[in-house]
Amino acid sequence: MHRPLARLTLLLALTMAGREAAAACADTAMPGVQWRRCFLDGSDLTGQDLTGGDLRDSSFKRARLSGARLANIQARRAKFVSAEMEGVDLSGADLTQADFTDANLAGAKLVGASLRGARFYDADLRGADLSQAIMDGVDLLRANVSGARWVDGRTVCAEGSIGQCHPGPATAGPAAKVEG
């Protein structure tokens, strides 16, 4: 006798949970936004402030994020494939296993970001600041890191650094090769 009521209550709860998740994905861009598991492909978020937001498992394919402030975001397994992210601030962000394939991150600030297992295949990281970034297992295959400031904070990658950082003339020492 109580089973039909329990099933109805469970069904109602599951339906409401789905609506709350959908509503969160439609929330306005702002610091601390909760966009977990959202599909925001093609969105124009140029110059927006999403500092401290939760973007885990979300998709921003072909999104425009140039000049956006994404410092200290949680974006594990997020997809930024072919995204325009010039000058984006990703300082202190958790980007573990994020996918930046073919993304434009020229001039991006990735200071202290966790990039463990992140994929930057064919990405443009020219002039990016990777100081203190954690790059264990990063895939930089065909990534352009020319002019990027490397994880030690001193080395600047030479022009033509593709797939790994070759110290420029102003920074002497062994090549700052990333093993993936």
- List the chain domain ranges: 29-180
What is the per-residue pLDDT for 21?
Answer: 42
| pTM of the predicted structure, to 2 decimals | 0.83
Other beta carbons within 10 angstroms of residue 109's beta carbon come to 22
Average pLDDT over residues 144-149: 98
Tokens representing 18? 């789905």
pLDDT of 137 strictly over 50: yes
pLDDT of 2 strictly over 80: no
Kindly report the CATH class assigned to 29-180.
Answer: mainly beta
What is the per-residue pLDDT for 169?
Answer: 80
Other beta carbons within 10 angstroms of residue 56's beta carbon come to 19
Average model confidence (pLDDT) across the chain? 88
Find out whether 120 and 102 touch, Cβ atoms under 8 Å. Answer: no
User: What is the separation of C-alpha 140 from the centre of its chain, rounded to a whole number of angstroms?
Assistant: 14
Other beta carbons within 10 angstroms of residue 165's beta carbon come to 27
**Where residue 17 falls among pLDDT bands split at 50, 70, 90?**
very low
**Where residue 19 falls among pLDDT bands split at 50, 70, 90?**
very low
**Separation between Cα atoms, residue 51 and residue 132, nearest integer Å:** 19
H/E stretch holding 137: none
Q: Which phi and psi (to 5°) does residue 104 adopt?
A: -100, 105
